[in-house]
Amino acid sequence: MDIHELRITAELAMLDLDEREMKVFEAEVSKTLEYFAQMNAVDVDGLEPTTHVLMEENRAREDRTRDENLSDRLLEEAPERQGRHIVIPNVL
């Protein structure tokens, strides 16, 4: 992977990497990609892609509301609130 691609990937992942980290990751990510290249080389013609290890059965849920409501507990975890709204800095 060249450094330009790595920069775009880091940007998409919202990672702020400095030059030293860039160097480290360039090597590490390249190694990971090589491993994927090995998998890519395997001939899988005619095989259905596996997207999940449980290929046998559907796992759908009935359209019924849960009894318990954890929303108050979850809201307590928010660092800043205004009424029941969660407050964050305006990032846009």
Q: Is 37 in the site for another protein (CB under 8 A)?
A: no
Q: Is 4 in the site for another protein (CB under 8 A)?
A: no
Residues in the chain: 92
Minimum distance between the CB of residue 40 and another protein, rounded to whole angstroms? 14
Rounded to whole angstroms, what are the CA distances from 8 to 5, 23, 30, 31, 35?
5, 15, 14, 18, 21
Q: Mask: binding to another protein, 43-72, rule CB under 8 A, as x and -?
A: -----xx-xx-xx-xxxxxxxxxx--xxx-
**Binding to another protein by residue 83, rule CB under 8 A?**
yes
Q: Would you say 43 or 56 has its CB closer to another protein?
A: 56
What's the longest Cα–Cα distance across the chain?
57
- Report the chain's C-alpha Rg in angstroms: 22
Quote the CA–CA distance of 46 and 58 in Å, as a whole number: 23
Q: Point out which residues bind another protein (CB under 8 A).
A: 8, 11-12, 14, 48-49, 51-52, 54-55, 57-66, 69-71, 74-75, 82-92
